[in-house]
């Protein structure tokens, strides 16, 4: 019975992995240069910052919440970095300050959600507007980042044989490894799953529900700020419109990665595969050449709808079986 239960939880992840392999094989068959290992490595290079954000979003959705502020936090972080560097603040001080932007906002949002019993959607929507507005308070113009450290991080390649990765990928992989450990081998991770499964039951069990929810949004803020730093390695600028709508990509990656929107079920590794699927869609469209970039949005929308319907079917069947067992 337990084995069956575990398998049900893994069904969405297996479907995600199967979909990724199917799409990648399609690319291998259709496009001649798609077989290069560098194409696969580019999925990580181009989406390192999305992987980092998706990790934080996974914890939020696992807890039964949502965070709409992550894209705006990326923009605000880029603006803080760019403005401080222009003013001559040393980079070893700029990085820690930038890393505080997201956690502070996330902590405040978590406190509002817990202590005032507010809906995460509304609170994080307010956080999104606040962070985006603060970005434009700093400057309405693009601020170019012309610093040796950021140029080095942006241009340096780490070679693996004849192929290469970037420092952004290394940072993203470290975050993923740390997140997997936290989710499955720490008390905090177990509490997140318990709260997402049933907040009422978690409270009756004596789990620190409020503290855990606040920590979840603080963690999401931290990953958003870290992603903002990585994002500046790509853009070498700060701008208030950076990562506009990016929170929807992160949510889509997590849901496509097999995490239930209602919380309690999901895996960090699944979210990473979800990001790779989004990256593969973009790569296929680039290789096709004749398709508009808007087809990426169309494909993501269809996949998101498909996985939400799949999740609902799995939940309904599970509930039906529970009712049948209870009746007997």
- Minimum mean pLDDT among 132-136, 186-190, 220-224, 242-246: which range? 242-246
18-72 confidence digits (pLDDT tens): 999 999 999 999 998 899 999 999 999 999 999 999 999 999 999 999 999 999 9
- The pLDDT mean for the chain works out to 91
What is the Cα Rg of the chain in Å?
20
Residues whose CB is less than 8 angstroms from the CB of residue 79 and which lie 6 or more positions away in sequence, other chains included: 134, 135, 138, 139, 143, 238, 239, 240
DSSP E strands, 17-167 = 143-144, 158-160, 163-165
Structure tokens at 136: 């434009």
Residue 263: in which H helix or E strand, if any? none
For the residues 250-254, what does the mean pLDDT come to?
95
State what percent of residues in the chain have pLDDT above 90. 79
Q: Assess whether pLDDT exceeds 90 at residue 13.
A: no
CB contact at 8 A, 193 and 15: no
Write the CB contacts of 48 (distance below 8 Å, at least 6 apart in sequence): 166, 168, 169, 171, 172, 230
Q: To the nearest 5 percent, what fractions of the chain are helix, strand and coil?
A: 80, 5, 20
> 229: closest CA among 288, 182, 167?
167
Q: pLDDT confidence of 4, banded at 50, 70, 90?
A: very low
Sign of CA dihedral 57, 212, 226, 16: negative
The sign of the dihedral angle between the CA atoms of 82, 85, 89, 94 is positive
pLDDT in tens, 198-233: 999 999 999 999 999 999 999 999 999 999 999 999
From 13-17, 80-84, 146-150, 168-172, the region with the lowest mean pLDDT: 13-17
Q: Is the pTM of this model over 0.85?
A: yes
Mean pLDDT for 119-130 is 97
Topology at the third CATH level for domain 11-315: ABC transporter involved in vitamin B12 uptake, BtuC (1.10.3470)
Decide if pLDDT at 320 tops 90. no
Q: What are phi and psi of 252, to 5 degrees?
A: -60, -45
Share of the chain above pLDDT 70, in %: 94
Question: What's the half-sphere exposure (Cβ side, CA atoms, 13 Å) at 279?
Answer: 21
pLDDT confidence band for 2 (50 / 70 / 90): very low
Q: Give me the residue label for tokens 């070679």.
A: 159
Terminal C-alpha separation, the chain: 16
**pLDDT (0 to 100) of residue 3:** 43
3 state DSSP class of 240: coil
**pLDDT value at residue 165:** 95
Res 7: pLDDT: 56
Report how far residue 47's alpha carbon sits from residue 319's, in angstroms, rounded to the nearest whole number.
Answer: 36
Beta carbons within 8 Å of 252's beta carbon, 6+ residues apart: 274, 278, 300, 303, 304
Compute the distance between CA of residue 76 and CA of residue 232 in angstroms, rounded to an integer.
11
pLDDT at 327: 59
Residue 277 contacts by C-beta under 8 Å, 6 or more apart in sequence? 16, 19, 20, 23, 253, 256, 303
In the predicted model, what is the mean pLDDT of residues 130-145? 96
Sequence ranges of the domains in the chain: 11-315
Q: Quick one: average pLDDT of 135-140? A: 95
Tokens describing residue 11: 């069904």
Separation of alpha carbons 268 and 186, rounded Å: 14
State residue 133's pLDDT score: 97
Confidence of residue 1 (pLDDT cuts 50, 70, 90): very low
Asked if residue 248 lies in contact with residue 263, where contact means CB atoms within 8 angstroms, the answer is no
């Amino acid at each position: 019975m337990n084995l069956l239960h575990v398998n049900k939880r893994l069904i969405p992840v297996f479907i995600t992995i199967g979909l990724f392999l199917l799409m990648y094989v399609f690319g291998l068959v259709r496009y001649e240069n798609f077989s290069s290992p560098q194409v696969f490595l580019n999925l990580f290079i181009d989406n390192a910052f999305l992987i980092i954000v998706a990790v934080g979003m996974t914890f939020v959705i696992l807890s039964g919440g949502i965070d709409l502020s992550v894209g705006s936090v990326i923009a605000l972080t880029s603006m803080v970095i760019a403005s401080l560097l222009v003013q001559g603040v040393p980079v070893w001080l700029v990085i820690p300050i930038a890393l505080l932007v997201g956690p502070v906002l996330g902590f405040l949002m978590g406190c509002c959600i817990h202590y005032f019993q507010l809906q995460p959607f509304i609170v994080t929507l307010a956080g999104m507007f606040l962070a985006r507005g603060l970005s434009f308070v700093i400057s309405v113009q693009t601020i170019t980042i012309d610093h040796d450290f950021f140029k080095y991080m942006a241009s340096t390649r780490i070679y693996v044989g004849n192929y290469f990765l970037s420092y952004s990928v290394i940072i993203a992989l470290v975050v993923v490894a740390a997140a997997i450990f936290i989710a499955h081998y720490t008390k905090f991770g177990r509490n997140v799953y318990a709260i997402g499964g049933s907040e009422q039951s978690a409270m009756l069990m004596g789990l620190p529900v409020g503290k855990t929810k606040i920590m979840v949004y603080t963690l999401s803020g931290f990953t958003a700020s870290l992603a903002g730093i990585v994002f500046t390695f790509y853009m070498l600028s700060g701008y208030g419109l950076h990562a506009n709508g990016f929170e929807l990509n992160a949510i889509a990656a997590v849901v496509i990665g097999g995490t239930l929107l209602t919380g309690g079920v999901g895996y960090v590794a699944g979210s990473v595969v979800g990001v790779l699927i989004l990256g593969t869609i973009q790569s296929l469209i680039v290789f096709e050449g004749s398709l508009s970039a808007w087809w990426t949005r169309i494909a993501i929308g269809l996949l998101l709808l498909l996985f939400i319907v799949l999740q609902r079917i799995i939940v309904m069947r599970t509930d039906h079986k529970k009712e049948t067992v209870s009746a007997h």
